[in-house]
C-alpha cells in the first residue's frame, strides 16, 4: 500500500491522510503502530536510537464512528502491525473509540524490557553473546 502525503489544496492521500486545506500550519499527529525491537536501529554514534519502517504508520486521534470503519482499522492493523507488539485496542476496534498515540506508548514497555534483558545478558554472559554473534 502506498503512502502519498502531498501538500496543496484538496489533495488526498491513502489511508485517510490528507493535506491541509488552507495555508495555515497544521500539526497532524501520527502513530507508528509497529514499534518493535527490529524497527529501532542505532545510529553511527552508537547511542542514538533511530525509528525505522513507517509502513504501518497512520494518522493518530482517529474517531471510529461506524462499525465498518472499526473493521477497516482492525484489518489494517492485522495486515501491517506485528501481532506480539500490537496494542490491545487494535485487536478489537470498537465503534465510538478513538485510536491515538497510546498504541505506540503501550509497546514501549516491551522495548524497555527487551533493552534491559539484552544489557543483562551482555553483562552476565558476554562469552555466550559473542559466540552467538560470531556464528
- By annotation, the residues acting in catalysis are 34
CB atoms near residue 85 (< 10 Å): 18
Q: What is the DSSP letter of 98?
A: E
Per DSSP bridges, beta strands 62-63 and 98-99 are antiparallel
Give the three-class secondary structure for 103: helix
Cell of 14: 491513502
Amino acid at each position: 500500500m502506498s503512502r502519498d502525503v502531498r501538500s496543496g489544496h484538496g489533495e488526498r492521500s491513502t489511508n485517510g491522510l490528507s493535506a491541509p486545506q488552507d495555508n495555515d500550519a497544521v500539526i497532524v499527529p501520527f502513530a507508528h503502530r509497529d514499534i518493535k525491537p527490529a524497527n529501532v536501529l542505532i545510529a553511527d554514534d552508537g547511542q542514538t536510537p533511530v525509528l525505522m519502517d513507517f509502513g504501518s504508520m497512520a494518522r493518530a486521534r482517529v474517531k471510529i464512528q461506524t462499525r465498518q470503519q472499526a473493521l477497516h482499522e482492525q484489518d489494517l492493523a492485522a495486515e501491517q502491525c506485528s501481532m506480539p507488539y500490537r496494542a490491545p485496542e487494535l485487536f478489537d476496534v470498537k465503534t465510538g473509540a478513538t485510536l491515538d498515540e497510546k498504541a505506540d506508548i503501550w509497546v514501549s514497555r516491551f522495548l524497555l524490557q527487551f533493552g534491559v534483558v539484552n544489557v543483562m545478558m551482555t553483562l552476565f554472559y558476554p562469552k555466550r553473546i559473542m559466540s552467538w554473534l560470531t556464528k
